[in-house]
Structure 1
């Protein structure tokens, strides 16, 4: 693969261009696979973004073997340091392979791309402060880990790579997530109506965009489990033969147990005020196992359990909007994206629970494929970092200040 680092040149060369071709990579907590978006970004002479357009998109699904490896790494009971280190480099080979697939699809060479911007695979996210021994007094530490070595992707593709986006925000006192609201405001904001963008990946997160909102008025937070509990129930009940509920067909055959919904909606996370973020360490295998055990105590069938897990996601999303969005921000539309937006049973549950006056849509209706949004977002975040501009939103993450995100491999 031809190295294009020399053409990348000094930062001034990058910043002097009015058009850039970026690749954004995202592999989320749902562990579906790697999403890769080829994004054209145009700027005016002042450097301000004038256009963000999706040129091409590919998804490389994870193999069952890789999915099992990563799930084990997300568990304190099963994670091993040797496996973690190997996966940190090994998953980078998946990222590099996906970049090559995208270049083939778009009929481009590595020299046509300015940079690859990769989020990495989250295995642990711990935004709540913990104390760590220090030389004189203990340090207050927030932490997160996204595996995937940028140097491997750079070496395999010949393209400069920027990654590790969350860490700088956390170093500045933030939660390190969500980071996609920067793009949501750019693509989905309206001067006439308030909107929320609800991503339903492994974890659900919402971006709140008031009508005519300036950057400082954007807010966002994780709503709780997205597909994560649903997927875990399906995997457990099918002994790993199936990893998710296609189109919500299993849930559609079951009945929701409202008693179980009421029990789990008492989870303290749901009543905690934003900014807040969560992940597999809270809503992963252990949480799902407790959920299944409670369902078994109530003699729920497989389809009833999946239906109830689906309803928990729907209820947590709508409750978050009712409790933390609508009291301050009028909203006309909810735009759903992520894998969960293809789950028709889940979407129907959300539609029926939304307050009057709020209609449900998919980002696809606004020109952005449901699964491409986050990959596009990281292409834009990488561009902003290379332009020397902060792209975290302190009002969203709780950081003490704006910060330029990411770590670069040149």
Structure 2
């Protein structure tokens, strides 16, 4: 007999729960390195507002070379195929489900103890700049974003309800659908005593500005440009696939930065755009790296010099964005780095060198949030807020016309 349990029933039961909510967040980023799964405990007060967010457990499932290449092909116009898109959409779901089951096992609990999964999916194309699309009465400006991963498959494999498609509602309301993590950054890292920037360095870099003594409405965020994406590609090409990233910045440390080339790269149009703004692999992917290597070769740069220059380019794009869009308006004491870039001391040193004196560069790990867990935690919290019927976007960050409830529920 078919169940009559509805989405409304599930949401009402979720909201009525008196004890803490146990939610899993799933994130696979533009670096295409793997899946981060976190189990968080969200404690609420008598008004059902978030009082505390506790990381219970974190599990990382690295992509194999085969799955990484399948996804990477879908991020390039010259190699994306519709049949691959369909199979990867469903195939990645099996990876997400496995990450959830492994996380639950590691945490020593059961699926029945988990209230919901909040799944970001794998971004393969992000298009925040509107293009004219044929409409019933003439061209319509359209923008969009695509994250792969079937919530129905994850629900079927795990037995846990899933919140997914978390970016579309913000875009429908006129936003760029990114960045979304700042919503949670405020709750995890906001300080009444000092201004902070939370700098995620995954494939793409994004900054959340948390001025001291401001509420959620005062949070300011945007994508700073390429994070590890160009560096990783240069290393992979230069080592013929032996390395897919610069281990602890050891290659860049041996090279000499071509500052003239960094200056040239900073003329890219994205850096001139004022926030809110977002970008992705479609801008700083394979073609950008190819052009970078051509410029490096024409200047006689060695492999180590090329990696050092790519690293400096990321550092410069991050710090320049602060100088252009943040520091003229806010006092900042600390930059807390997370994502894969937090594991690259050469990059962190370059960021520190390029910042004005008095600003300290550290990591979110030093504040109790592991570098690789922050984004997955953010989406767990966003999913929770959606189930509570509360908006999870910040219009001042994404450019949306209004706050909106994010995501769809799969029972």
Instruction: Give the TM-score normalised by structure 1.
Output: 0.98
- Matched residues, number: 407
The 5 A counterparts of 1:11-410 are: 11-18=11-18, 19-410=20-411
Aligned residues of 1:174 and 1:400 also touching (Cα < 8 A): yes
Instruction: Please state whether the residue corresponding to 1:174 is helix, strand or coil.
Output: coil
Aligned residues of 2:7 and 2:409 also touching (Cα < 8 A): no
Q: 2: CA distance between counterparts of 1:140 and 1:296?
A: 40
Q: 2: CA distance between counterparts of 1:230 and 1:120?
A: 24
Q: 1: CA distance between counterparts of 2:361 and 2:239?
A: 32
Aligned residues of 1:131 and 1:139 also touching (Cα < 8 A): yes
Q: State the Cα deviation string for residues 150-184 of structure 1 (Å, max 9, x = none).
A: 00000000000011111110000000000000110
Alignment gaps of 5+ in structure 1: none
Instruction: Please state whether the residue corresponding to 1:329 is helix, strand or coil.
Output: coil
Alignment gaps of 5+ in structure 2: none
Q: State the Cα deviation string for residues 70-125 of structure 1 (Å, max 9, x = none).
A: 11100000000000110000001000000000011011111100000011000000
- How far 1:299 moved relative to its partner? 1.0
- How far 1:44 moved relative to its partner? 1.0
Q: 2: CA distance between counterparts of 1:7 and 1:293?
A: 54
Instruction: Please state whether the residue corresponding to 1:244 is helix, strand or coil.
Output: coil
Q: 1: CA distance between counterparts of 2:408 and 2:311?
A: 37
Q: 1: CA distance between counterparts of 2:195 and 2:349?
A: 22
Q: 1: CA distance between counterparts of 2:106 and 2:99?
A: 10
Aligned residues of 1:26 and 1:120 also touching (Cα < 8 A): yes
Aligned residues of 1:8 and 1:114 also touching (Cα < 8 A): no
Aligned residues of 1:27 and 1:119 also touching (Cα < 8 A): yes
Instruction: Please state whether the residue corresponding to 1:323 is helix, strand or coil.
Output: helix
Q: 2: CA distance between counterparts of 1:110 and 1:85?
A: 28
Q: State the Cα deviation string for residues 305-360 of structure 1 (Å, max 9, x = none).
A: 00000000000000001110011111111000000010010011011111112111
- How far 1:188 moved relative to its partner? 0.4
Q: 2: CA distance between counterparts of 1:288 and 1:115?
A: 39
- How far 1:8 moved relative to its partner? 9.9
- How far 1:7 moved relative to its partner? 12
Residue of structure 1 in register with 2:10 after alignment = 10
Q: 1: CA distance between counterparts of 2:32 and 2:125?
A: 13
Q: 2: CA distance between counterparts of 1:265 and 1:275?
A: 18
- How far 1:241 moved relative to its partner? 2.2
Q: 2: CA distance between counterparts of 1:163 and 1:113?
A: 16
**Structure 2 CA distance for partners of 1:75 and 1:7, relative to 1, 3 Å:** closer
Instruction: Please state whether the residue corresponding to 1:10 is helix, strand or coil.
Output: helix
Q: 2: CA distance between counterparts of 1:188 and 1:390?
A: 20
Aligned residues of 1:193 and 1:210 also touching (Cα < 8 A): yes
Q: 2: CA distance between counterparts of 1:7 and 1:217?
A: 34
Q: 2: CA distance between counterparts of 1:368 and 1:94?
A: 24
Instruction: Please state whether the residue corresponding to 2:225 is helix, strand or coil.
Output: strand
- How far 1:6 moved relative to its partner? 8.8
Q: 2: CA distance between counterparts of 1:377 and 1:112?
A: 20
**Aligned residues: CA RMSD:** 1.3
Q: 2: CA distance between counterparts of 1:53 and 1:107?
A: 16
Q: 2: CA distance between counterparts of 1:356 and 1:250?
A: 27
Aligned residues of 1:257 and 1:308 also touching (Cα < 8 A): yes
